[in-house]
A and B are shown apart, each in its own frame.
Chain A
């Protein structure tokens, strides 16, 4: 097996172990929240953490090549975190039921964003950041240990030149450091805090809760951590052997290593599970806990996908104001709106509310669209995989079929838009909210754009004079046609056209003086046009 293939295997196994460690840690976090804060959505928080770890594993190699704090890096990280924020918020809202979800959307609609920043959301967000950061740390250390040969070699050189702690030792410290934190938290979560105060007074002894998934998570975290240590040990040895050009005579060393590690850890786990440890968990029950946890997360993600798919299929019918096809559930009840203020809103406020709503949703949709595009770009492999997936293709075909068969969709949509626009226009006209004025402030344009403006004005007025510009005409051809119609402004038309061509297609600077000259030229052309039309 060559070194490239070996490294690919190492990467896959290493990433899988990091994922499993993170899943075990999330299991513990879930148990802690369930114990300490039963009102919070511990499952959602844990699922989001696992999702972020998976996403980090997927995008790590693409992101690490970007220079930190460069525009590209900020764009990529920003898009990623925007997506995480939105998904986290929507999930937390959705977890409270569809009513609460719609209520939260209504809150966003009203612009009261502060309502969304609940303690649960903030804590979840911080935990998500922690999961994102720690996963990056693990992957960075694995790269230094041996996944990236150049990095590993440079790390060796740096170690020789300085007193840096070797990457593998840092990995051990990280695994055990996090393990200590998990153990402490799990220990605290087991204590029934309600009994602590009486026990201090000597009235009742310390009461411990029953065993929970938190302990299983901590135990599994250590088990997978040991497996990762075994892998990193092999990687660091391979790096050293490569650097010192020591040939590996046993061709199946990596395979044997994996086998010995598995046997070693399995035997260790079996022995440990047989030793007396009070009410601790057994080996198989540990594995069962982890599998059920991961299955629950998968089920949750499946539910979400199902919901989105059903929403997608219902969209054409919703647009037609019909009943959604194959609705998974009956139409949700109307959300319970918060109490309305007793005073009726002024007529002007309605319009303001409408504008604000449009602006808010427009901005939100734009940001979400941008974030989604960036997210999809980062997940190039995912997009390819989706394209190649039969299920996705089937869904796309089904969507296209639905869209084609819903013949009146376009008409209904256009009718709805035109009605809406008329409604807005009528409101605007009736209330005279907006003062009439120029749509464009010429002074605010830079000189180059002012030249564009005068040229376009010439074309517009030329069209009104009966010389419209054809789409196939070049500026010079149009100038020739216009000069025929207005021979008195022949030179001015030519000079304005030249100025436009220079401003549009050259990189020369266009200063204000030149813009003023063009303005005067345009004034003369306009007068010539007026005189020509008067004569006619």
Chain B
């Protein structure tokens, strides 16, 4: 648009020179002044714009997140028009993104509120907010300014498990166990009369003195369920027709197990080979086993972000990480398919004192050969085709 001015100003300059100033000079002042003042106004006003976005950055699936957007003009110059366009993920808002046109007076402000629906697990940017403005006369090009995007994490679906049998060889934990092998001397639950063969260490001397007969303590057997979830998100390990659904199911299983374990006040860690949107190299960080809700959120956040990858094979990753896990840790592998190398790694882990469990997710996961092979190696295998199949772990607690 500014190109239109050049011939005009050239002619005006010629005439001003010819007439020695006069009205042509006034016209030059007028035209150049309109252009320059318009440019200065819009550019100056834009620098005084400030935006704030307030929303809860974490949401569970199905929740509605309300975003408060605050736009303020901190300067004395009014902004005649300001076009706001918030870039929002299609998965959360569909085709209706937030956009509006406002004008802001001196020190004026505007407040907007819109909602996004957490329809799908993921890590979503809310924004950036593009703000377009310009001069009143339209003689210069519009100015576009962007305020940075902020993240919204939508956690994967969590199915509350009530009963799940995870093998463990860690004694003296907090979980009750059937085998007396795992009796916990800190968890005495009664006394009985001494019989031949009872260890002298188990005699309760106080009650023996009181009753006049030897009494031995009864200990509740318990285990410590330190678990590491290994989530395989290698694309080739999922059948191509149901790759998306199966991988999402695997993530749901992982999140649900993690939730269940944390609820049991046990340690849980996460090893995943997918693509993490937040990491520079795209590789998700290993989450070492920890307790507590905060740790669970960390695990869920990682699970919210990760996506299928084509580059990272799982076998080498297990090999690399299992040495860092303590003896007795249970490795729960969740995957679409399992190859020989992975089974071999799990077997090696078992031999090294760690437990292994394989959960095959997806409709095409019921591979009998893998199950037979795993059984030979002493590895328990579950096949979960749909979320409905998870009901085996949502029923009432069964004690054998």
Contact = CB atoms under 8 A, between A and B. Distances in A.
Interface of A: 168-169, 172-173, 176, 179-180, 183-184, 186-187, 190, 208, 211, 215, 218-219, 222-223, 226, 229-230, 232-234, 236-237, 241, 244, 246-250, 252-253, 256-257, 260-261, 264, 268-269, 271-273, 275, 277-281
B7 A180 contact: yes
B136 interface: yes
A277 B30 CA distance: 11
Question: Chain B: interface residue count, which band?
Answer: 35 or more
Contacts of A218: 23, 27
Contact of B110 (A180, A223, A249): A249
Interface of B: 1, 4-5, 7-8, 11-12, 15, 18-27, 29-31, 33-34, 37-38, 41, 78, 80-81, 83, 85, 99-103, 105, 110, 112, 134, 136-139
Given A169-B1, A277-B29, A232 B23 contact: no
Lowest 3 A-B CB distances belong to which pairs? Answer: A278-B21, A233-B138, A215-B23
A246 B11 contact: no
A253 B78 CA distance: 12
A218 B30 CA distance: 12
Contacts of A187: 15, 18-19, 24
B18 A248 contact: no
A172 B4 contact: yes
Given A172-B1, A187-B19, A257-B81, A272 B110 contact: no
Given A190-B19, A223-B30, A280-B23, A260 B80 contact: yes
A183 B101 contact: no
Contacts of A280: 21-23, 25-26
B101 A169 contact: no
A277 B29 CA distance: 9
B19 to A, nearest CB: 6
B101 A229 contact: no
A244 B130 CA distance: 15
B137 A233 contact: yes
Contacts of B21: 277-280
A247 B30 contact: no
B99 A208 contact: no
A246 B27 contact: no
A87 B23 CA distance: 35
A260 B78 contact: yes
Contacts of A261: 136
Given A169-B4, A256-B80, A219 B26 contact: yes
A218 B8 CA distance: 13
A237 B99 CA distance: 14
A335 to B, nearest CB: 44
A183 B37 contact: no
B30 A183 contact: no
Nearest to B138: A233
B146 to A, nearest CB: 17
A260 B136 CA distance: 8
Given A176-B7, A183-B24, 5 more contacts: A190-B22, A222-B27, A257-B80, A271-B33, A272-B26
A388 B12 CA distance: 49
28 contacts: A169-B4, A173-B4, A176-B4, A180-B8, A184-B15, A208-B22, A211-B22, A215-B23, A219-B23, A222-B27, A222-B30, A246-B83, A246-B99, A246-B101, A247-B99, A247-B100, A248-B101, A256-B78, A257-B136, A264-B41, A272-B26, A272-B33, A273-B26, A275-B26, A277-B26, A278-B21, A279-B22, A280-B26
